[in-house]
């Protein structure tokens, strides 16, 4: 790996470390005995990385002014197209950044409602909003497990991981959502999430098998 690639990777890792305390992990809300609501915002790291790549791709336009703010001559006759040879490289940063910003990083919501005997799993981003609904008795089991995203190792694989919550139905269909958790809290988060849902739905736990 070249020096430039090493520096770029280190910059991303430093950036992830900076924003990681802001990650909105899975949140539970049980206002009464009959309803359990789970909310997860996995958008912050993805949207932040997308913005990071877009800002980095446009840096030749504004970086000279930031480095020398008192040099007013830079504002006179500055040619914003004097880096034409770097346009392909900048596009290689900007387009993936825009793609990540728009399509990755979902905000998820899962609602279990005993009073109406229904469940809802909702996953949305800037582009789409997908919902899966059904009856509580259709759920046969709950799976909560860590999932690997190989492409994400470059960005923050050493800091956090993804956890998938999957609702399995008797028909063989399934509904799921993903949230992000610090690796140091991975096992406790998986156990807490699994126990919370299985106890609420009165489903068999792993200890019952």
Q: Residue 103 in contact with residue 50, Cβ under 8 Å?
A: no
Pick from 42-51, 81-90, 142-151, 164-173 the range whose average pLDDT is largest: 164-173
Same-domain status, 190 and 114: yes
Per-residue pLDDT at 41 exceeds 90:
no
Same-domain status, 115 and 81: no
Q: Residue 178 in contact with residue 164, Cβ under 8 Å?
A: yes
For residue 96, count other CB atoms closer than 10 A to its CB.
15
Its domain, for residue 150, covers 25-42+106-208
Average pLDDT over residues 93-97: 79
> What is residue 77's DSSP assignment?
S
The string of DSSP codes covering 127-166 is S-EEEEEEEGGGEEEEEEEEE--GGGHHHHTTTEEEEEEE
**Count of structural domains within the chain:** 2
Task: Give 145's Cβ-side CA count (13 Å radius).
Answer: 8
Q: Per the structure block, which two tokens stand in for 149?
A: 């995203």
Same-domain status, 93 and 110: no
pTM of model > 0.85: no
Q: Per the structure block, which two tokens stand in for 178?
A: 């993903």
Query: How many whole angstroms separate alpha carbon 195 and alpha carbon 208?
Result: 12
Q: Which pLDDT value is given to residue 176? A: 93
Give the pLDDT band of residue 10 (cuts 50, 70, 90): low
Q: Which pLDDT value is given to residue 117? A: 95
Same-domain status, 127 and 202: yes
Q: Residue 124 in contact with residue 42, Cβ under 8 Å?
A: no
CATH number, domain of 176, equals 2.30.29.30
Rounded alpha-carbon distances, angstroms, from residue 163 to 44, 93, 176, 204: 15, 28, 10, 21
Same-domain status, 33 and 121: yes
Domain-located, residue 1: no
Query: How many whole angstroms separate alpha carbon 135 and alpha carbon 118?
Result: 4
Q: Which pLDDT value is given to residue 4? A: 47
Q: Which pLDDT value is given to residue 58? A: 73
């Amino acid at each position: 790996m070249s020096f430039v690639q090493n520096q770029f990777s280190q910059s991303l890792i430093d950036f992830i470390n900076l924003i990681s305390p802001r990650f909105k992990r899975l949140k539970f809300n049980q206002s009464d005995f009959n309803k359990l609501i789970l909310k997860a915002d996995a958008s912050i790291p993805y949207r932040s990385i997308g913005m990071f790549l877009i800002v980095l791709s446009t840096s030749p336009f504004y970086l000279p002014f930031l480095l020398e703010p008192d040099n007013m001559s830079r504002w006179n006759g500055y040619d914003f197209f004097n880096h034409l040879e770097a346009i392909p490289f900048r596009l290689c940063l900007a387009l993936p950044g825009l793609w990540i910003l728009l399509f990755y990083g979902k905000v998820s919501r899962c609602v279990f409602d005993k009073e109406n005997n229904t469940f809802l799993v909702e996953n949305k981003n800037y582009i789409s909003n997908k919902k899966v609904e059904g009856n509580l008795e259709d759920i046969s089991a709950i799976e909560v497990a860590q999932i690997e995203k190989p492409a994400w190792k470059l960005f923050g694989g050493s800091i956090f991981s993804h956890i998938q919550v999957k609702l399995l139905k008797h028909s063989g269909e399934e509904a799921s959502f993903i949230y992000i958790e610090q690796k140091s809290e991975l096992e406790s988060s998986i156990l807490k999430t699994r126990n919370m849902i299985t106890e609420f739905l009165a489903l068999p736990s792993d200890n019952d098998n």
